[in-house]
Amino acid sequence: MTQSRIALVTGASRGIGKAIALGLAERGFDLALNDIPKQKTSLENVAAEIAAMGRQAKCYFADVSSKSEVENMIGSIVNDLGTVHAVVNNAGILIASEVETLPEQAWDAVMDVNAKGTFLVIQAVLPLMKKQKYGRICNIASIGGKHGAPEQAHYSASKAAVMGFTRVLAQEVGPLGITANCICPGIIYTDMGRVNLDDPATRAIWQSRTAMARIGDPEDVAGPVAFFCSDDSAFVTGQTLNVDGGIVLS
């Protein structure tokens, strides 16, 4: 493609989302950065880092679980940047709880952001990609959606839903020149991960289970995402790639 490529990254203010946004900017993308208003300062700092790299970055504040907010966001992106070539659905939350005591509201909140949010963003952006006969969709799932862990049943269910959704989406949009793939990060040291990883014993356990014997960094996820957002992956769709240092060996 001759024009500058535009990528939308949701949940881009910190952690994996921030690393993905910076990684795409390094590879020549201009960025539409999304997060909730609470993360305004952090998201604007990411935009400033990208601008310092010589790429364009604009911030859009929306709750991805709200259809109206997502549609308004996509409209603003089109007005500002023209279109969207790649979408990275990274926004996600985790509220730990055992199944027996899991509040219904916590189940709904996790499913709304992680699963429904992915669906709503894709639904809003598909007309653009269909019109231009081009699109790269990369949904961030998790190895938790494959194996799960105690107190994360709802999180695991939401990420499994993202993987199933992506497989069907790939079949529907393939003839339109659009690819759809998933990344499953493993144990990554982020604000969300620190809840467990700051405990030395827990950290040691996960390191021992990983073939590369270390905890992942957010930057470890950026390269694989960039591959799925690029034309190097033009004949790759409906796939789920583990980016976990060798925990899930399949």
Q: What is the pTM of this model?
A: 0.95
Q: What does the domain layout of the chain look like in residue ranges?
A: 6-188+218-243
> Residue 1 has what pLDDT?
40
Q: What is the pLDDT of residues 34-55, one digit of tens each?
A: 999 999 999 999 999 999 999 9
pLDDT level of residue 144 (50, 70, 90 thresholds) = very high
pLDDT at residue 197 in the model: 75
The candidate with the shortest Cα–Cα distance to 116, out of 79, 73, 159, 146, is 159
- Catalytic residue (one of 60, 134, 155, 189): 155
- Which pLDDT value is given to residue 200? 84
Active site residue 155: yes
Average pLDDT, stretch 101-127?
98
Q: What is the pLDDT of residue 2?
A: 42
What pLDDT does residue 250 have? 61
Q: What is the pLDDT of residues 234-246, one digit of tens each?
A: 999 999 999 999 9
Mean pLDDT is highest, among 141-150, 183-192, 218-227, for 218-227
What class does CATH assign to 6-188+218-243? alpha beta
In a 13 Å sphere around the CA of 60, the CA atoms on its Cβ side amount to 27
